[in-house]
A and B are shown apart, each in its own frame.
Chain A
Amino acid sequence: MKTITIAPVTRLEGHAKVTINLDDSGNVAEDP
């Protein structure tokens, strides 16, 4: 289980963060 965090999302008017959860085999996991 690994989490990729992209913060801040840049060149955007506003604030945003993207969090992607990966499962043990490195694929994007559905909601934990």
Chain B
Amino acid sequence: MAVKVAEEWLNICGGCEVTILDIGEPLLDLLPELDFVHMPVLMDHKYYGQTGEKTEMEIPEADIGIISGGVRNEKEKHVTEEMRKKCKTLISLGSCACFGGIPALANMFPLEALYEKVYRDCETTDSADTPAENIPPLLDRVYAVDEVVDVDVHIPGCPTNPDLIVKALTALLEGKEFKLEERSVCDECPLKREKKASGGEIKRTLESMEFKQGEPWDRTRCYMEQGYLCLGPVTLAGCGHKEGDGGVTVPRCIKGYMPCRGCFGPIRKGANPLVDMMSAISSIGLDAKQVPDRRALLNRYIGSHNRLRPLPARPKK
């Protein structure tokens, strides 16, 4: 008998849903095993009946629940709680659901400051009151799903890796546990490391990098040692894709000749990537003080769990 699946998206872009499609051929093997009972992006199902005539939110019962996106407003909080009630196993899919994701950068500002910025302080739009009718009020900040309800499986990534969705669903179908191994992106990165930077200042990502396309990975110099801010040392591994049979596993951004931006989040619960990254930068002889906007840049995908919050204004000099 097919396993019932309910899927919800909250505060996100939709990229994680595209990743489900991006599974490709293995999805065809999985689909007969899955029976989607609720998934707003793909199928019609209303929360309060077809015309809103019911008073209780209706999400059907399911064996597996998948939530993408963080929890930003009252409606999303309600949907999250309802999903937890109705689903035996709950999966947080993507960095937004796991750690707040990019939208959680807003956690650096109090809600009132955001409203002022968006509705009244934007040069290219006319000022307006903060909307209050017919839309759910925002929560005080962006929450990860596991700050609101218990979550059984975390699959991070922005967007996540299609291979991981297959592995997680396959494990659950077989009644096994799915958990990513506590390894860093550097642990599975094949680039050549010499344990010291090649000299000079920390470079911005768009400054051209030294590499020869098609050259074996172990002859390409580590991006951080070239002076680029690569969050590999403090980021959980799992994004990598194995190149061909017997080939090496290459983290996805590294494969695209871009430094890791940290979307898989901390290597273990409770780790502090900001602090760990500052020491990783210093240990190869780069000057950590040169990293611009450190707090946001090193917490880019993980602003929930109180990692990003408004700071008191600096005293005037």
Please give the residue numbers on chain A whose beta carbons come within 8 Å of chain B beta carbons, in ascending order: 3-8, 10-15, 17, 19
Contacts and interface: CB of A to CB of B under 8 A. Distances in A.
A7 B45 contact: no
Contacts of A4: 51-52
Interface string B240-283: 00000000000000000000000000000000000000000000
Contact of B48 (A7, A11, A12, A13): A7
B134 A10 contact: no
B43 A11 contact: yes
Contact of B45 (A5, A10, A17): A10
Given A13-B41, A19-B134, A8 B52 contact: no
21 contacts: A5-B52, A6-B52, A7-B46, A7-B47, A7-B48, A7-B52, A8-B40, A8-B46, A8-B47, A10-B41, A10-B45, A10-B46, A11-B42, A11-B43, A11-B44, A12-B41, A13-B41, A15-B9, A17-B134, A17-B135, A19-B134
A23 to B, nearest CB: 16
Nearest to B136: A17
B14 interface: yes
Interface string B164-203: 0000000000000000000000000000000000000000
Interface of B: 9, 14, 40-48, 50-52, 134-135
Contacts of B135: 17
Main SS class of interface, A: loop
B281 to A, nearest CB: 38
Given A6-B50, A10-B44, 10 more contacts: A4-B51, A5-B52, A6-B51, A7-B48, A8-B40, A10-B40, A10-B41, A10-B42, A11-B42, A17-B134
B48 A5 contact: yes
A9 to B, nearest CB: 8
A3 B133 CA distance: 14
Nearest to A19: B134
Contacts of B14: 13-14
A12 B43 CA distance: 10
A12 B44 CA distance: 10
Nearest to A17: B134
